[in-house]
Amino acid sequence: MRRAILLGLGGLMLAGAAPAFSGDPAAGRKVANMCRTCHGLDGFARIPIAPHIGGEPESYLQRQLRAFKSGARRHEMMTVVASGLSERQMDDVSAWYAAHKATASLPAGTDPANAPEACTACHGVDGIALFEDAPNLAGETNIYIDTQLKAFKRGKRTHEIMNGIAEAMSDEEIRAAADWYASVEFKVDAATK
């Protein structure tokens, strides 16, 4: 029941014209100068090791930035970046990237039935997340997804749902899931200013 409600809200969020942000997207655009070399100004990643963050749910981005800042999640570059951001800046830049619209489409001839079963309930068949707590996976570099799943599997990254799911996957299943979402055609439409 809860899931159905969340799904409904998620649908509204993604389809809605002007979602309300807790941060200020215009102020976040300036903060994004620190992010653009890797994540792009519109959140379409410019290097393979960085994920696409354009059109990601605002609350997901806020949580990840705070996790990098607190040390709960670690990354060689992001730990350095987040350590210098204020609460306000984290909210603003999250709002900036959330304000863009992410769209995904399966490559022609792909059978949706082959999508990785363990992932689709939250991340969607096409990698556009169905819950605020889940990131989009569409079009990410397969090695990025592979790396995150292995980090969950080995306990280097923690999440109440993801650790259990990744532990149940073999390295081959992890790579297959990564390949599936990496093959999705992904696009970010920039927010209007």
Partner 1 sequence: MKQIIALAVAASFFAGGAFAQSGQVPDNLEKLSGFKTTGVTEFTFIEQGGDYAVGIEKTLERISLPDGFKIELYAVVPDARHMAVGPQGIVTFVGTRKDKVWSVTDRNKDRVADEVKDFAPSLTFSIPNGPCFSKDGFLYIAEQNRVLLFPAAEFFYESPDVAAFNLVAKGDLIPPDEESFNHTARVCRIGPDGKIYISLGQPFNVAPADKLDLYNKWGIGGMIRLNLDGTGREVYTYGIRNSVGHDFHPATGELWFTDNQVDGMGDDIPPGELNRQTAAGQNFGHPWYGGGDTRTNEYKGEEPPADTVMPVVATVAHAADLGMHFYTGRMFPEKYKHAIFSAQHGSWNRTTPVGARVMVTFIDDQGNAAIEPFAEGWLDEATGEYLGRPVDVAQLPDGSILVSDDLAGALYRISYTK
| Least distance CB 146 / partner 1 (angstroms) | 7
* R_g (Cα) of the chain, nearest Å: 16
Q: Does 175 bind partner 1 (CB under 8 A)?
A: yes
- Residue in 7, 9, 80, 168 binding partner 1, rule: CB under 8 A: 80
User: What is the DSSP annotation of 65-111?
Assistant: HHHHHHTSS--TTHHHHHHT--HHHHHHHHHHHHTSEEEEEPPTT--
Plot region of 139 (φ>0 → left; ψ -120 to 50 → alpha; else → beta): left
Alpha-carbon span 1 to 149, nearest angstrom: 28
Please say whether the beta carbons of 129 and 136 come within 8 A.
yes
Alpha-carbon span 182 to 3, nearest angstrom: 26
Q: Does 88 bind partner 1 (CB under 8 A)?
A: no
- Angle formed by the axes of helices 142-153 and 171-182, nearest 10°: 140
| Least distance CB 77 / partner 1 (angstroms) | 7
- Residue in 4, 84, 107, 108 binding partner 1, rule: CB under 8 A: 84
Q: How many residues bind partner 1 (CB under 8 A)?
A: 26
What track of x and - describes contact with partner 1 for positions 38 through 67 (by CB under 8 A)?
Answer: x-------xxxx------------------
CA 147 to chain centre: 14
| Least distance CB 72 / partner 1 (angstroms) | 16
Name residue 17's amino acid.
Answer: A
166 DSSP assignment = H
- Residue in 109, 172, 192, 193 binding partner 1, rule: CB under 8 A: 172
Alpha-carbon span 106 to 181, nearest angstrom: 9
Q: Does 109 bind partner 1 (CB under 8 A)?
A: no
Q: Does 7 bind partner 1 (CB under 8 A)?
A: no
| Least distance CB 52 / partner 1 (angstroms) | 14
Q: Does 79 bind partner 1 (CB under 8 A)?
A: yes
Binding residues vs partner 1 (CB under 8 A): 33-34, 37-38, 46-49, 75-77, 79-81, 83-84, 141-144, 146-147, 150, 154, 172, 175
